Amino acid sequence: MSTPDERGFLNGPPDVAIEVVSPGDRPREIDEKVSEYLASGTPLVVVIDPEQQDCRVFRPDVPSITLGSEDVLDLGDVVPGFRCCVAEIFGS
């Protein structure tokens, strides 16, 4: 877990990174961002794709998973108590 320095800025990688895919984003660009976060020590990266209405969840050293609108996004191991239905992210 990252701790803030005397100015309040975190030292080290974030505990979770959430990337929202924009219409102009290329898949390779998103994959590079995910790889950079994981390589820096971020334990959890979530890529939200409004067009596909799904979420991809990345963790170090395990295959990514894709969650659809019927699934639950559970980040409780990194953000205690965080659970939501993927459909809620897209207002469904």
- pLDDT (tens digit, 9 = 90+) per residue, 11-70? 788 999 999 999 999 999 999 999 999 999 999 999 999 999 999 999 999 999 999 999
HSE (CB half, 13 Å, CA atoms) of 45?
A: 25
Domains of the chain listed by start with CATH number: 3-89 (3.90.1570.10)
- pLDDT (tens digit, 9 = 90+) per residue, 64-88? 999 999 999 999 999 999 999 999 9
Q: How many residues does the chain have?
A: 92
pTM of the model: 0.87
Positive or negative, the CA dihedral 19, 28, 33, 25 is negative
